[in-house]
């Protein structure tokens, strides 16, 4: 049901007329995310401060209007889509870094700050915020917190939740809550901060974030290792992770990803290779030199046919250019993409790789694997034309089989993309009835009418 003009006018009074979008051609820009599914909201509202967020959420609850928090719209599971219409609350104007306290290693910032911009700012001063999703050049801190984003460095440094100390947030009805601490420790009451991190905007709208910083490592060394088969590369990952040196990154690309990136970038990637590993270490200059040399020798013993340590900035940039180009480059194989981010224990990666190869042979679809091998997080991608029912049906059959295999292997259905709408039908594969009931009760406490980001995570609310 369209939002009444009376309520639209009240919202314009709260946030100012220029911060409300209602024309269909403008709403179209906020009707999709990286899933390429389309759901039109009735309004897009751009609050400029926490009080405005509070007032909009109070009005929305009083008028039973759904509200969907949104950042840059880079999500991969439909978390910021207005599946029930209503208001998209776009937080990109809450984009200020409020305070950086290097003495106490904390920063306070608003959710609309671009993650990559924050990286550059603190690194310039010799400090480090490790979480680095591939979308960091344009995704927002708020979106990263809502999805508990990870990235290549998670293998050593952890994910977003490991750096969020506290939050300011607004719940439906307009109440402003403050969670967490500004200290290194704090165990007073339940940990609402960790509850909100990764909740995909279904419990509250985050308006301010307190992040932990660490000192910036002085030296980084990066190496590529080429393997003849994906299984030998996967075996190498498992051996390296249990071998005594903890890299900050172990990324991988299978042959499909390599070939696609090379045709996209033309930078000399080994297109006949079964897989490439990108291995990175950091620390002081002496230790990183020793560690990367050891890992180069170890990789050769584990079957690498070729290794190379980056010697200059251009070589380093080409390595990461290739890795970050995988996702967009894959569109050469088809107009549509199904992108899953399963995780298994690192010892299970070789078996998972074989399972993916078996699925590719069984369904004869273009499949590519890449991602964060160091922590078992595999980005499994199927390229297809969804207008062709036979391809679509086979693709979803393959996904279901892969999910079943992942759970059987002691893994999880999502490492960093969240559940949103695309994984909601599968959530009961991992979470049982009692656990789901507890989660739904928590949702009901925060949002009794089910108006905040409805239809996400749980398939029936």
pLDDT in the model for residue 461: 58
CATH fold of 219-408 reads: Vanillyl-alcohol Oxidase; Chain A, domain 3 (3.40.462)
Averages of pLDDT over each 10 residues, the chain, 461 residues: 94 98 97 94 98 98 98 96 98 98 98 98 98 94 98 96 98 98 94 98 98 97 96 94 93 93 91 96 97 97 96 91 88 91 94 92 93 93 94 96 98 96 96 96 97 92 58
Query: What's residue 152's pLDDT?
Result: 95
Question: Quick one: CATH architecture of 5-90?
Answer: 2-Layer Sandwich (3.30)
> Using H for helix, E for strand and C for coil, what is the string for 357-373?
HHHHHHHCCEEEEEEEH
CB-based contacts of 419, cutoff 8 Å, min separation 6: 77, 79, 200, 413, 427, 456, 457
Cα distances (Å, whole numbers) of residue 303 to 225, 275, 297: 9, 11, 10
- Cα separation values, 158 from 152, 155, 164, 179, 343, Å: 10, 6, 11, 21, 14
Cβ count near 16 (within 10 Å): 13
CA distance 155 to 89: 33
List the structure tokens of 401: 């089989």
Write the DSSP string, 27-88.
Answer: HGGGSB-TT--B---SEEE---SHHHHHHHHHHHHHTT--EEEESSS--SSSTT--TT-SEE
Q: How far is CA 218 from CA 128, 167, 175, 212, 249, in A?
A: 11, 30, 44, 19, 16
d(CA 305, CA 408): 33
Residues 6+ apart with CB under 8 A from 155: 241, 246, 247, 248, 249, 250, 372, 374, 375
Classify domain 97-215 at the CATH topology level: 3.30.465
Indicate the pTM of the whole model: 0.95
Answer for the pair 91, 112: CB distance below 8 angstroms, yes or no: yes
All structural domains of the chain with their residue ranges: 5-90, 97-215, 219-408
């Amino acid at each position: 049901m369209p939002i009444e003009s009376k309520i639209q006018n009240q919202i314009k009074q709260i946030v100012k007329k220029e911060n409300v979008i209602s024309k269909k051609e403008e709403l179209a820009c906020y009707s999709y995310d990286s899933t390429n599914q389309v759901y039109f909201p009735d309004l897009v509202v751009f609050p400029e401060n926490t009080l405005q967020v509070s007032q909009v959420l109070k009005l929305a609850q009083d008028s039973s209007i759904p509200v969907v928090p949104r950042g840059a719209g880079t999500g991969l599971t439909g978390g910021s889509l207005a599946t029930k219409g209503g208001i998209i609350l776009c937080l990109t104007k809450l984009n200020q870094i409020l305070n950086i306290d290097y003495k106490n290693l904390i920063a306070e910032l608003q959710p609309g700050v671009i993650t990559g911009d924050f990286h550059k700012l603190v690194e310039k001063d010799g400090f480090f915020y490790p979480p680095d999703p591939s979308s960091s050049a344009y995704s927002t801190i708020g979106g990263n917190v809502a999805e508990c984003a990870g990235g290549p460095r998670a293998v050593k440094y952890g994910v977003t939740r490991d750096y969020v100390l506290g939050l300011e947030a607004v719940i439906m009805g307009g109440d402003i809550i403050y969670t967490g601490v500004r200290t290194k420790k704090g165990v007073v009451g339940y940990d609402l901060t960790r509850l909100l991190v990764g909740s995909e905007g279904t419990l509250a709208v985050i308006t301010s974030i307190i992040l932990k910083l660490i000192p910036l490592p002085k030296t980084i060394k990066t190496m590529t290792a080429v393997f003849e088969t994906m299984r030998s590369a996967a075996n190498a990952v498992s051996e390296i992770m249990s071998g005594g040196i903890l890299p900050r990154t172990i990324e991988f690309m299978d042959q499909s990803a390599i070939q696609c990136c090379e045709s996209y970038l033309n930078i000399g990637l080994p297109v006949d290779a079964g897989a490439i590993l990108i291995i990175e270490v950091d620390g002081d200059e002496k230790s990183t030199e020793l560690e990367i040399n050891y890992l180069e020798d170890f990789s050769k013993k584990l079957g690498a046919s070729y290794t190379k340590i980056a010697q200059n900035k251009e070589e380093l940039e080409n390595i990461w250019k290739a890795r970050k180009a995988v996702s967009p480059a894959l569109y050469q194989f088809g107009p549509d993409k199904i992108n899953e981010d399963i995780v298994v224990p690192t010892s299970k990666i070789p078996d998972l790789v074989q399972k993916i190869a078996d699925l590719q042979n069984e369904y004869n679809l273009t499949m590519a694997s890449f991602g964060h091998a160091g922590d078992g997080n595999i980005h499994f991608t199927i390229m297809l034309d969804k207008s062709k029912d036979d391809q679509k049906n086979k693709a979803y059959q393959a996904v279901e089989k892969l999910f079943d295999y992942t759970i059987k292997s002691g893994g999880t259905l999502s490492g960093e993309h969240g559940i949103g709408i695309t994984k909601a039908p599968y959530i009961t594969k991992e979470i049982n009835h009692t656990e789901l009931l507890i989660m739904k009760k928590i949702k009901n406490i925060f949002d009794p009418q089910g108006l905040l980001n409805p239809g996400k995570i749980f398939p029936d609310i």
